[in-house]
Structure 1
Amino acid sequence: MDQLSAMQTFRRVVDLGSFSAAAEQAGMSHTVLSRQVKNLERHLGTQLLNRTTRRLQPTEAGALFYRHCVQILEQMQAMTLELSEHQQQPTGTLRLGVATAFGELELGRWLADFVERHPRLRIELNCTDRFVDLLEEDVDVCLRVTDHLPDSSLVARRLASSEVVLVASPAYLERHGLPDTPEALAQHPLLGYNRLPHPQRLRLSSATAHQEIQLPQRLSANSPMALRAAAIGGLGIASFDRFIVDDALGDGRLLRILVDWQLPARNLYAVYPQSRYLAPKVRAFLDYVQRYYATPRWLN
């Protein structure tokens, strides 16, 4: 008896609830599958399935055996894939989800290099500011910059920290003055990201104090890139993840304000479905971004 094949058959029958469905999926006859399970029961010396007219149910022994089957078969699959990984180049389509600002400002720095390293890989990019359901939408990896990840079965690998900075344009500060305390900041209009729970609230901290400031809102938007353009255009003060305004700070289009006060930092995560074994394309991508962001990218 091919015990591994019999275990695969038994797992398929339990998962699908009938020999007919299992036979159709496997492309084999009902008789062959039924004989495999009967031989397995004879070999183990116990009944594994209760057979009714409507559905098959595992016995207590069958349920125990099923759990071991799943574990053993997944380990076998993982071993087979892992042994062949060194001979495999990542191939197929890698489906990535990123926030719009990250897609516009960060991917251009390294995505071309990643693709050149893996010429047999195709990239399908989904840029959106909503939280993507990876399993529902068949996304392999999401890159998210956030201060909070919802509880889920997904794996979240932290890649980097992004400080959050307060900025304004030189033209705005020339017209309205430079706020030098959190209290003075409250007199200035805020450009707010309206996807936040409290877009007008800023939590500031220094070495010795913590303050929460409520600012009047001049403009709200659901796009960080639109808010960035508004800040550069001199409409008000705004807070951004550092990577969104790093270039504008570098060339002077925006200036940091209240530099002795900090906003809560956020983190860049690679989020992906939990699996005993990662496909080569996913592993290659995760390893690449882990190495890239190991060097701090957004510095004062």
Structure 2
Amino acid sequence: MDRFTALTVFRHVAELNSFAQAGRRLGLSAPAISKNIAELEARLGARLIHRTTRRMALTEEGRIYLEHVVRGLDALAEADQALCPVKAAPSGVLRVSAPMTVTLTRLSTAIPAFLARHPALRLDLDLDDRRVDIVREGFDLAIRGSDHLEDSSLVARRLAVMPHVLCGAPSYFAAHGVPASPAELGAHACIRFSLSGHADTWEFRQDGRVERIAVDARYSVTSSLAVRDALRAGLGLSLIPRPYVEEDLETGRLQAALEDWRTVETTLHAVYPSRQHVAPKIRAFLDFLIEVFGESGPGGGPPAYDTSTR
């Protein structure tokens, strides 16, 4: 048994909760993955993983052993980097998950310059507004937009804060009037971004008062770009991140309403699994994100922080 390989296999199986995914990640066959785990358990004289044909779970011994294995493998990787400075340059494949609208409106035009800066790096950018499981799905980093970042074992770096604005087309306001207060929104056609954390209730604040308006939407959609298209067409009103419609507001294509009321904000974070040993490719992309969002708007915030409750 190659002990280093067996430990690496065990770590990936445990983190991905899957023999098959670990095999794909490491380029090993299913029998090779099973053999490494079995030989490691035989050497230790302890069962590390409970497994059936349908599922697997770490034993108590497996959870304890995994903590030590992760620290040991990370320390070895750090030692290798210290002795091989050339490997500190970003290289390999970087898998990133990012929301589609944020990427298309604020990030994608800068990607070619990032790749030109790091010729040994390959970027696999997956655009999806759903919340991915970074570890299970094999991503190195994800960009997330949220009113509240849930506790987890991930590390998060705040990138930007996007205030929202209630807006519509001048043609819509000409036909239906401009709401003078949040309470009047019940008489208006609303467009709902259904993946938002505030999709069903829009909150407005003024002088210590808070008004929460239940959204009765004629049109619900999972893309902020589609919301913007509907706004431009005069279909109704929506609460949307201001950067997505800033140009429309400046040119008069869209018009803001209830600007004397404060409303929700979405904070963009870069989240990644490792808290101590950040790979050069991840560090390079983090620096790139901080540079881009720092230039394009407010909220290039504080240093990375750990969201773990442990």
Same fold (TM over 0.5): yes
Task: Kindly state the Cα deviation for residue 49 of structure 1 after the two structures are TM-superposed.
Answer: 5.8
- Please give the per-residue CA displacement for 1:161-202, whole angstroms capped at 9, x wherever unaligned: 111111111111111111121222332111012234663421
Distance 1:97 1:188 in 2: 35
Partner residue in 2 for 1:99:
99
Mean CA deviation greater in 289-298 or 176-185: 289-298
Q: What stretches of structure 2 of length at least 5 have no aligned partner?
A: 14-31, 48-62, 300-310
Task: Kindly state the Cα deviation for residue 233 of structure 1 after the two structures are TM-superposed.
Answer: 0.5
Distance 1:68 1:164 in 2: 45
Distance 1:204 1:65 in 2: 50
1:139 is the counterpart of 2:158: no
* Residue 73 to residue 198, structure 1, CA distance change in 2 (3 Å): closer
1:288 is the counterpart of 2:288: yes
* Residue 65 to residue 104, structure 1, CA distance change in 2 (3 Å): closer
Contact 1:246 1:298 in 2 (8 A): no
Partner residue in 2 for 1:271:
271
Mean CA deviation greater in 231-240 or 102-111: 102-111
Distance 1:73 1:89 in 2: 20
Q: Which secondary structure does the structure 1 equivalent of 2:164 belong to? A: strand
Partner residue in 2 for 1:203:
203
Partner residue in 2 for 1:81:
81
Q: Which secondary structure does the structure 2 equivalent of 1:151 belong to? A: coil
Partner residue in 1 for 2:114:
114
Mean CA deviation greater in 80-89 or 247-256: 80-89
Partner residue in 1 for 2:220:
220
- 2:288 maps to a residue whose letter is Y
Partner residue in 1 for 2:178:
178
Distance 1:185 1:71 in 2: 55
Task: Kindly state the Cα deviation for residue 293 of structure 1 after the two structures are TM-superposed.
Answer: 2.1
- TM-score w.r.t. the length of structure 2 is 0.71
* Residue 298 to residue 185, structure 1, CA distance change in 2 (3 Å): farther
Distance 2:46 2:268 in 1: 51
* Residue 262 to residue 129, structure 1, CA distance change in 2 (3 Å): same
Distance 2:72 2:198 in 1: 49
Partner residue in 2 for 1:238:
238
Partner residue in 2 for 1:127:
127
Distance 1:271 1:51 in 2: 34
Distance 2:168 2:190 in 1: 10
Q: How many residues align?
A: 260
Partner residue in 2 for 1:59:
none
- TM-score w.r.t. the length of structure 1 is 0.73
Distance 2:250 2:298 in 1: 11
Task: Kindly state the Cα deviation for residue 68 of structure 1 after the two structures are TM-superposed.
Answer: 6.5
Q: What stretches of structure 1 of length at least 5 have no aligned partner?
A: 1-5, 34-47, 53-62
Contact 1:188 1:215 in 2 (8 A): no
- Please give the per-residue CA displacement for 1:208-249, whole angstroms capped at 9, x wherever unaligned: 321112243221112221111001110000011222222322
Q: Which secondary structure does the structure 2 equivalent of 1:212 belong to? A: strand
Task: Kindly state the Cα deviation for residue 12 of structure 1 after the two structures are TM-superposed.
Answer: 7.9
Q: Which secondary structure does the structure 2 equivalent of 1:192 belong to? A: strand
CA RMSD for the aligned pairs? 3.6
Distance 1:67 1:107 in 2: 36
- 2:216 maps to a residue whose letter is P
Partner residue in 2 for 1:44:
none
- 1:246 maps to a residue whose letter is E
Distance 2:217 2:247 in 1: 25
- 2:114 maps to a residue whose letter is F
- 1:100 maps to a residue whose letter is M
* Residue 276 to residue 173, structure 1, CA distance change in 2 (3 Å): same
Distance 2:180 2:69 in 1: 66
Distance 2:160 2:151 in 1: 20
Task: Kindly state the Cα deviation for residue 80 of structure 1 after the two structures are TM-superposed.
Answer: 2.6
* Residue 135 to residue 169, structure 1, CA distance change in 2 (3 Å): same
The structure that has the greater radius of gyration is 1
* Residue 189 to residue 296, structure 1, CA distance change in 2 (3 Å): same
Distance 1:177 1:10 in 2: 68
Q: Which secondary structure does the structure 2 equivalent of 1:259 belong to? A: coil
Distance 2:133 2:64 in 1: 32
